[in-house]
Amino acid sequence: MKTLIKNGTIITASEEQQQASDYTPYEGLRMKGRVAKVLLRGEVIVEEGKYVGKPGDGKFIARQTLRSQNSKV
């Protein structure tokens, strides 16, 4: 996956985030740069903050539990 970043400053807001939660710890944080495009396997899937990919483009990656992560150490 490749991400292209544009110059500029943004202030984060939870309603602009692409997530199932209405909360972000970054709320109101001023950040430099923003995502302009995201490419996956050569195809643009995010452009100017909007998902433009097709259903099935992604792949679910199950999160490991903390216990299984610690057992590898």
Query: In the chain, what are the domains?
Result: 2-70 (2.30.40.10)
Judge if pTM exceeds 0.85. no
Distance in angstroms (rounded) separating the CA atoms of residues 35 and 47? 8
Token look-up 């679910």 returns 60
- One-letter identity of residue 34: R
Strand duo 50-51 + 43-47: pairing: antiparallel
Distance in angstroms (rounded) separating the CA atoms of residues 35 and 25? 18
pLDDT tens digits, 23-65: 778 778 787 877 788 888 888 988 887 889 888 887 888 888 8
- Contact indicator for 12, 33 with CB cutoff of 8 Å: no
